[in-house]
Amino acid sequence: MKHQELSATAHALVAKNKGILAADESTSTIGKRFAGIKLDSTAENRRLYRELLFTTPGANDYISGVILYDETIRQSTKAGSSFAAYLSQHGMLPGIKVDTGAKPLAGFAGETITEGLDGLRERLAEYGKLGAKFAKWRAVIDIGAGIPSAYAITANAEGLARYAALCQEAGIVPIVEPEVLMDGGHDLQRCEQVTGAVLDSVFTHLFAAGVYLEGIILKPNMVIPGKKCAQKASAEQVAEATLRCLKRHVPAAVPGIAFLSGGQSPTEATLHLSLMNAAGPLPWTLTFSYGRALQEPALLAWGGQSGAFTSGQQALFKRAKLNGLAAVGSYKTSMESTAA
Ligand code: 13P
């Protein structure tokens, strides 16, 4: 029974034309985003901004679920409905970020281990009561001189597997997010090699932990050259390398893969997703679970100004719609100027 429910939730998250809105920035991260528009990061401003996102008219045509942060899942709309209840009533599944962040990995300079396993069973039980149907845990792998180490990959993969098993025990679908960062100077080939090794380790550990693969969503990075790499890749090359890597390393039992945007521009993230979906039949559904690539234009259009609330919502709607089209391979860059 639990397996059936997990699989049904996972499939709902990757329903046709739909993807996930990642709005689970920690208080410190949203503070940085607000600093970019010179807005104070007060609890009320954070609540107001999340209300703008979640109540965007029509967003539920393209958004299947929203990842919330601990503070946000306890907040409500101005009209008094908890965000989790509001989202459920509007056909969007509420999710929750449950890791407590990537911390320095002792003995391995420049590498991190994601924390948050202690007390996770109890926190999941509480989040379940607050309405969460799925969860997210982000492991971070950086590429640089001599890194990632085999140990950092293994330790992070084990953390993801233990988290995923606890989520499924609680009837919550785990989003398994091993993010290979695009910050470095590495090229496309190196990203493909590291992403492949990371995915291999993640699935080895998920299998060892007895995780039910039909009841997870994988949230990987795309295979893309580092931002400081002189050799740029075309959108077609990114799509091709990403698909090759995923086909080699992700079992067909996984119902859906929902990419993070990781620092790609909103239009790049949409184009890459669409090219992959246009490439032919795939063993899993490919969609988006974007944070910045969905929110950046909305945050800028709003700018913290009460008179620009609707402009912010329109900007989010446009990105949600175009990514919804990309999720079925029907996006064209020419739509950027015409989409409402
Ligand atoms: P980005 O799309 O901004 O990378 O965020 C997605 C996310 O949830 C990172 O954990």
Give residue limits of the domains in the chain: 2-328
Q: CB count, 10 Å around CB of 43?
A: 10
CA of 247 relative to ligand 1 center, distance in Å: 22
177 tagged catalytic = yes
Tell me the average pLDDT across 6-29: 98
Residues 87-124 pLDDT 10s:
999 999 999 999 999 999 999 999 999 999 999 999 99
252: pLDDT strictly greater than 80: yes
pLDDT, mean over the chain: 98
* Catalytic choice (177, 179, 192, 296): 177
* CA proximity to 53, closest of 37, 42, 66, 40: 66
Q: How confident is the model at residue 266 (pLDDT cuts 50, 70, 90)?
A: very high
| Ligand 1 atom nearest residue 259's Cα | 2
Q: How confident is the model at residue 38 (pLDDT cuts 50, 70, 90)?
A: very high
| Ligand 1 binding site (Cβ under 6 Å of any ligand atom) | 22, 138, 177, 260-262, 290-293
What pLDDT score was predicted for residue 338? 81
172: pLDDT strictly greater than 80: yes
What pLDDT score was predicted for residue 104? 98
Tell me the average pLDDT across 5-15: 98
What pLDDT score was predicted for residue 280? 83
| CATH for 2-328 (3.20.20.70, 3.30.1360.120, 3.30.830.10, 3.20.20.210) | 3.20.20.70
CA of 1 relative to ligand 1 center, distance in Å: 31
Strands in the chain per DSSP E:
19-22, 63-68, 93-97, 102-104, 112-114, 134-141, 173-180, 217-218, 256-259, 285-290
Cβ contact 83:116 at 8 Å: no
126: pLDDT strictly greater than 70: yes
Tell me the average pLDDT across 304-329: 98
* Catalytic choice (18, 133, 136, 219): 219
* CA proximity to 290, closest of 252, 243, 255, 327: 327
Nearest C-alpha to atom 9 of ligand 1 is from which residue?
260
Tell me the average pLDDT across 25-32: 98
339: pLDDT strictly greater than 90: no
Of 259, 260, 265, the residue with max ligand 1 atoms within 8 A of its CB, to mutate for a pocket test, comes to: 260
340: pLDDT strictly greater than 90: no
Q: Which residues pair with 68 in a beta bridge?
A: 96
Q: How confident is the model at residue 1 (pLDDT cuts 50, 70, 90)?
A: low
Task: Count how many Cα atoms sit within 13 Å of the Cα of residue 246 in the half-sphere of its side chain.
Answer: 27
268: pLDDT strictly greater than 90: yes
* CA proximity to 143, closest of 135, 152, 134, 131: 152
Cβ contact 29:109 at 8 Å: no
